[in-house]
Structure 1
């Protein structure tokens, strides 16, 4: 057996592999805002999101506590990247001024289509096969440059092509999120196995 001698390192980010999201919110003037994010996990139907303190998205959910979470497939990584260095804030924060620019219509800049939500005001992203509508339950401050936003999902919308027929289950063999790993975009590749509790283990057999 080969002994691995690990290196002690200090990488600039710890995004070891997280899903890319496009978060829809509503601006004070009623127009939609769209922002990429990749800090996400879920407990049942509760979402936990990490949002930057100086971004328009966090401002919006504090004032209007609703959002949509849209998961783009890997083929849309260019759309995500097109708005990655933009902000909905007219007053671009000094810390972002060197790299970010204000864009009022993020949907147009990304080449994406707003789609009306059913239970919340912010729009969904039509091109995303998996979309969540949610209402903010709590925002926790004091975490450096980020706040933790907890939101309760009100509805899940899925393209029929990624749903196991006759069920409410997403078939992971048919659906592929975009994974953000150390500032690179990836698909998830082939399946290696599944948990015994999988809802779709036999769907592709």
Structure 2
């Protein structure tokens, strides 16, 4: 039997992403999010309008989306309740956040140069995607209380770096879902993927049929 429920959050399960950006002084910011979805070579993230990550992206129009596996969960957890904004916004103070200038050092992660954008990649993450900002939209525009507080940012992927160990044997342009174990956040808790539960009819479609013009543009074709 279903019951009417009033959960405070609706995080039913999405992958964790570490977004790396450049600060004004040339140092780097690194922040975990889990409000994200993908379409082709585009990504949409949901994020606070007042975060340092947002500030950096709206100034540089660039970032790197680093996807940690379950192996990096301890590093991701070290970034929880940290912010690159100083002073710490009141809303984050209430949640116990603290200012950290060196996010990479805090997490014990290693920044490495990107090929196209200025923001660094996270060396330890099996997937790293260099991206540029395409559009910014405000959520809850009709709500006087929430207007301007939450944003969705559309990102266009420029280059994908994938650890060889997660690629399909004999197919370097395909990620093997049996090898890739993304870190998942569900209702503020960390989880990983288990074994495949059922054969997918959708998976019978060749991935090449999803090819997009964004991919051609990213590779200069």
TM-score, normalised to structure 2, is 0.85
The one of 148, 154, 166 aligned to 2:152: 148
What's the CA shift for 1:75?
2.4
CA distance in 1 between partners of 2:160 and 2:198 (Å): 25
Structure number having the greater helix percentage: 2
Q: What is the aligned counterpart of 2:126 among 126, 129, 133?
A: 129
Helix, strand or coil at the partner of 2:177: coil
Q: 1:95, 1:189 → 2: CA distance? A: 35
| Partners of 1:135 and 1:95 in 2: CA distance | 28
Could you tell me how far apart the structure 1 residues matched to 2:109 and 2:78 are?
Answer: 11
- Greater shift, 58-67 or 75-84, is seen at 75-84
SS of residue in 1 equivalent to 2:185 = strand
Residues in 1 aligned to 2:139 and 2:191: alpha-carbon distance in whole angstroms: 31
Cα gap change, 1:142 to 1:191, in 2 (>3 Å)? closer
Aligned partner of 1:169 in structure 2 is 174
Are 2:36 and 1:36 aligned? no
Q: 1:192 to 1:51 in 2, by over 3 A?
A: same
Give the total of aligned pairs: 197
Unmatched runs of 5 consecutive residues or more in structure 2: 141-145, 207-221
Q: Is contact 2:37-2:44 (8 Å) kept?
A: yes
Are the equivalent residues in 2 in contact too, given 1:49–1:148 (CA < 8 A)? yes
Aligned to 1:138: 135
5+ unaligned residues in a row in structure 1: which ranges? Answer: none
State TM-score, norm by structure 1. Answer: 0.92
Q: Which of 159, 165, 185 pairs up with 2:163?
A: 159
CA RMSD, 1 decimal: 1.6
Paired position in structure 2 for 1:63: 59
Q: 1: distance between equivalents of 2:5 and 2:105?
A: 40
Contact 2:21/2:120 (<8 A) preserved: yes
